[in-house]
A and B are shown apart, each in its own frame.
Chain A
Amino acid sequence: LAKTTQPISMDSYEGQEVNITCSHNNIATNDYITWYQQFPSQGPRFIIQGYKTKVTNEVASLFIPADRKSSTLSLPRVSLSDTAVYYCLVGDPGTYKYIFGTGTRLKVLA
């Protein structure tokens, strides 16, 4: 059962690149890694998903090393509106248990 560990909080300034790392030492062969963003009083929202190497979309990049025991979400040039909690989710279809990490509370400062 893959369990994830993330930093509890991070601060950054507008315009900077932010990297949030998630540790998932027990990730299984079939697991995908997904990141979600959650604003107060809203449900989580999908950001990006990957299996290995690097994935990039219009809002973020996801870096996954060869051993897949960790992953890094990269947010380029953050703005105040990126202030949110970011969750790393490792899908475990073998046992149908989808476990959210502790979440990283990102605060972007002006």
Chain B
Amino acid sequence: EAGVAQSPRYKIIEKRQSVAFWCNPISGHATLYWYQQILGQGPKLLIQFQNNGVVDDSQLPKDRFSAERLKGVDSTLKIQPAKLEDSAVYLCASSLEDGGADTQYFGPGTRLTVL
């Protein structure tokens, strides 16, 4: 079974530039998550989709971050404009249903460096 795919694996940009990350979840998984993991910290949930609807985006900095999940499959997370403090690993995860009692499967992450 193929895992969660993410691209790119690494990205270096300058502050105020834009960047986009892509995630392809495990086939058949209804729920998709985007996490931000700053070095030395645990992952922080940014947004959760159930199929193509947003379940929770309360921790997403909406003035600069946006995310979409078209057709309930792939998802894109965008940052515009980027700030220095956005330097982190962005993890995508998926689960069959709601993750409360359901295992989340994580992708390898995208490491973003903002200069």
Number of interface residues, chain A, beta carbon within 8 A = 25
Q: Is the interface of A mostly helix, strand, loop or mixed?
A: loop
Return chain A residues, CB-CB under 8 Å to B58: 97
CA distance in complex: A43, B111 (Å): 11
Q: Are B100 and A92 in contact (CB under 8 A)?
A: yes
Interface size on B, residues (CB 8 A): 25
B12-20, B42-50, B66-74, B75-83 - interface stretch: B42-50
Task: Point out residues on A near B: beta carbons under 8 Å.
Answer: 30-32, 34, 41-46, 49, 51, 87, 91-93, 95-103
Measured CA separation A17–B67 after assembly (Å): 43
Q: Are A98 and B33 in contact (CB under 8 A)?
A: yes
Provide the bound-state CA to CA distance between A49 and B99, in Å.
Answer: 11
> Does A91 lie within 8 Å of B42, measured CB to CB?
no
Closest residue of B by beta carbon distance from A105: B40
Residues of B within 8 A of A30 (CB): 100
Q: List 22 A-B contacts (CB under 8 A).
A: A32-B101, A34-B103, A41-B108, A42-B108, A43-B106, A44-B43, A44-B91, A44-B104, A46-B104, A51-B101, A87-B42, A87-B43, A92-B100, A93-B101, A95-B56, A96-B48, A96-B98, A97-B45, A97-B56, A98-B45, A98-B99, A99-B45
